[in-house]
A and B are shown apart, each in its own frame.
Chain A
């Protein structure tokens, strides 16, 4: 007996009184929901992923998309998603892959943390009237300085300083490769970070020629597949990031299917067109912290010690001990990618179940590095599930120097978080390589949107700091006294080193 059809995930309806048969929905839907038949728009709701492209471009607000119009018998254990996963695998016998980030309703620690503000005993600061220092330096800081007095009153710095990245706001855009996302999407973000004075990552997809004008704001990535990596690429980046792991799929490699490897992606990644780009799970020249040190030094030596080298790991159980090892490898920054981090594609079982939240990971890494007296050796970059300026403020209080955003930058370009990035049919032109779809993005318009988002968050961050009587990001960093936990258990409060509300 066949399993048969499952209930619709979305039901699309068009209000006939409002519809003027213009067909924009047909043009815009890349998933094949709409078609014209007998001069009438027909609907196949089963193809709908709720990306809202049709709804956004319907001039008459005639389209309605309803989620789960018909459901199964409700059950707390056998949820709809669980049942459909069983059906899927019973039919196919395969690994289920999905896009975006963790889709399970895990509690969000950020939403159980509250920030502080001044009242009476210390004055708050108005960022409109007073300078608010958000500039951040990413890289090693010396544990001490030695100086020599020169004749006269001048002094000479004897300590050799390591290269640092100067960012005007502690918000950067993380690594999303050309291949996972489209070139116009990368171009838009590159323009945005260039104007703001921050940085974005290339991902493991090489650096497309059209991004060379923004290369001083790009962090080039070296991952296990070494795609697009040669000496020119390393020299172009402002910094180099070794990707060990990713929050959406800790412990496994990446696999860009041949369909997404068009001529341009092939050129940037330096692999044949149409071939699978397979990144192995580990770097096969890194099987230990000592080997990691070897690659960190190898990259520094190749670029004559002019660039900071970051190491990115997924937030896993022993992230603190691993980060302490990385801090001793010569790396200049550790990026921790929490289990809510996004992805172009990942096995759902990894995306939803492997790794730990960024809040706990950053707090424990920061604590471990301070305990060992090596916190100055690396900057900490938090990534994976940063949704708003409040999250930025909170994670900095927990010990991060800066954040990487990913999904929020895509949402700023129109992404509706439909979670089908892995299908390569993104109607917004973001997670696709189909030219008819990628041309829907305008690098300039979308650059302004991304710039606006980061600008808005930066203003809010300044306001939050001012309200707390803090005028420099340095004073917010690791300042757990400015956080209180609301309905968090004692174990987690201890990990975060945060007091409960009221205490």
Chain B
């Protein structure tokens, strides 16, 4: 298999992405980027289902934006909005990520080992077989899953912090679902949401996702699979349906 290692020290993101595109066009399947320090848009608009990019360092914002296919593994934290409007592929972050993680994501998976900032999974959406999945190992800050239209978010709350301790979760949600390990204080829920304990069917549905997540980070899936979860979803798929009267 063709591989490539790029020393990204002092390289601007545009020539860096150009090198990545050229390598993929050349048949390279595994690309390692060393000394990444704040380069934005890594993998932006990139295609290639069988391509894996390993990022060593801290990438800048909008990692894997509009990406359609590749897998990106980050050994470090990520800045805001990794997986922004991502279409297909996988982003695995061995660290934490900033605000608006998986913003408007429409397919693929984003796994974050530690915690994420505000508005995670905001306006994720689903169409046919395209179903975006965001799994967070630690905690998520306020407005998780705001305006969510489809897809799946799981917050595991590993470590010392509560998975959800801030308000506005699922505010304006009209599709998709959010699973949080353990109970969720109802004060944290946004308007238009409801919560219920996980059902057996749902447990079966999330199990392979949790197992895949655990495998990605080399942790034991058993306690996560066995744990109790709270499911947060929309009260109505059409929150605005009765808001208007005709002129």
Q: Which of B134-142, B182-190, B237-245 contacts A (4 or more CB under 8 A)?
A: B237-245
Q: CB < 8 Å: which of A88, A94, A258, A302 contacts B65?
A: A302
A226 at the interface (CB under 8 A from B): yes
For A235, A302, A419, which residue has the most chain B Cβ atoms within 10 angstroms? A302
User: Is A97 a contact partner of B126 (Cβ separation < 8 A)?
Assistant: no
- Please tell me which stretch of B25-33, B41-49, B50-58, B214-222 contacts chain A, meaning at least 4 of its Cβ atoms lie within 8 angstroms of it: B41-49
Q: Are B172 and A278 in contact (CB under 8 A)?
A: yes
Interface string of A350-394 (1 = CB under 8 A from B): 000000000000000000000000000000000000000000000
**B241 adjacent to A422 (CB under 8 Å):** no
- Give residues 163-186 of A contacting B (CB, 8 Å): none
A89–B123 touching, CB < 8 Å: no
B66 A275 Cβ-Cβ under 8 A: no
Contact B17–A301 (Cβ < 8 Å) = yes
In this assembly, does B147 line the interface, its C-beta being within 8 Å of a C-beta of chain A? yes
Residues of chain A in range 208-243 having any CB-CB distance to chain B below 8 Å: 224-226, 229-232, 234-235
Taking a contact as CB atoms under 8 Å apart, the answer to whether B103 and A423 are in contact is no
Whether A271 lies near B13 (C-beta < 8 A) is no
Nearest CB of A to B135, in Å? 20
Interface string of B144-167 (1 = CB under 8 A from A): 001101100000000000000000
Question: Are A301 and B175 interface neighbours, CB within 8 A?
Answer: no
Task: Give the dominant DSSP class at A's interface.
Answer: mixed
In the complex, A98→B239 CA distance in Å? 19
Is A276's beta carbon under 8 Å from chain B? yes
Contacting residues of chain A (25-78) with chain B, CB-CB under 8 angstroms: none
Considering only CB atoms, which chain B residue lies closest to A351 in the complex? B247
- Main secondary structure, interface of B, reads loop
A417 to chain B, nearest CB (A): 14
Once bound together, how far apart are the Cα atoms of A503 and B134, in whole Å? 66
Chain A residues near B100 (CB, 8 Å)? 284-285
* Choice from A88, A224, A267, A278 contacting B245 with Cβ under 8 Å: A88
CB of A266 closer than 8 Å to a CB of B: yes
Q: Which B8-22 residues sit within 8 Å CB-CB of chain A?
A: 13-14, 17-18, 21
> Which of B79-87, B109-117, B203-211, B223-231 lines the interface with chain A?
B79-87
B17 proximity list for chain A (CB < 8 A): 301
Indicate if the CB atoms of B150 and A272 lie closer than 8 Å. Answer: yes
B1 close to chain A: CB less than 8 A: no
Q: How large is the interface on B (under 10, 10 to 19, 20 to 34, 35 or more residues)?
A: 35 or more
Enumerate chain A residues within 8 angstroms of B245, measured Cβ to Cβ. Answer: 88-89, 91-92, 94-97
Is B122 close to A, CB under 8 A? yes
A95–B240 CA distance with the chains assembled, in angstroms:
11
Collect the chain B residues with CB atoms within 8 Å of residue A284's CB: 100, 103-104, 119, 122-123, 146-147
A298 near B65: Cβ-Cβ < 8 Å: yes
- What residues of chain A lie closer than 8 Å to B14, measured between beta carbons? 301, 305
Whole-angstrom distance between the alpha carbons of A235 and B47 in the complex?
12
User: Does B94 reach chain A (CB closer than 8 Å)?
Assistant: no
Q: A270 contacts B106, CB within 8 Å?
A: yes
CB < 8 Å neighbour of B44 from A230, A271, A301, A422: A301
Measured in the bound complex, the distance between the Cα atoms of B44 and A225 in whole Å is: 19
Is B61 an interface residue when CB atoms closer than 8 A count as contact?
Answer: yes
A251 beta carbon closer than 8 Å to chain B: no
Partner of A272, one of B175, B240, B246: B175
- Knowing A258-B238, A276-B174, say if A97 contacts B45 (CB, 8 Å): no
Across-interface contacts of B122 in A (CB, < 8 A): 284
In the complex, what residues of A have CB within 8 A of residue B61's CB? 294
B47 — which chain A residues lie within 8 A by C-beta? 231
Q: Which of chain A's residues 279-329 have a Cβ closer than 8 Å to chain B?
A: 280, 284-285, 294, 297-298, 301-305
Quick check: is A413 within 8 A (CB to CB) of the other chain? no
A270 nearest CB neighbor, chain B only: B127
Q: A16 to B106, alpha carbons, bound, how many Å?
A: 59
| Complex partner residue of B85 from A88, A96, A226, CB under 8 angstroms | A226
A94 to B244, CA, bound (A): 5
Which residues from B are CB-within-8-Å of A230?
Answer: 66, 68, 85, 87, 106
Is B240 a contact of A298 with CB atoms below 8 Å?
no
> A453 CA to B40 CA in the complex, in Å?
45
Q: A18: CB under 8 A from chain B?
A: no
When C-beta atoms are compared, the residue in chain B nearest to A91 turns out to be B245
A195: chain B residues at CB < 8 Å are none
Tell me the nearest residue of chain A to B61, going by C-beta.
A294
What 4 pairs between A and B have smallest CB-CB spacing?
A302-B45, A98-B247, A226-B104, A94-B245
A-B contact pairs, 26 of them (CB 8 A): A91-B245, A94-B245, A96-B247, A98-B247, A225-B104, A234-B45, A234-B66, A235-B45, A257-B241, A258-B237, A272-B127, A272-B175, A275-B238, A278-B147, A284-B146, A298-B40, A298-B41, A301-B17, A301-B41, A301-B44, A302-B65, A304-B21, A347-B244, A419-B247, A420-B246, A420-B247
Listed in ascending order, the chain B residues whose CB lies under 8 Å from chain A are 13-14, 17-18, 21, 40-41, 44-45, 47, 61-62, 65-68, 80-81, 84-85, 87, 100, 103-104, 106, 119, 122-123, 125-127, 130, 146-147, 149-150, 172, 174-175, 237-247
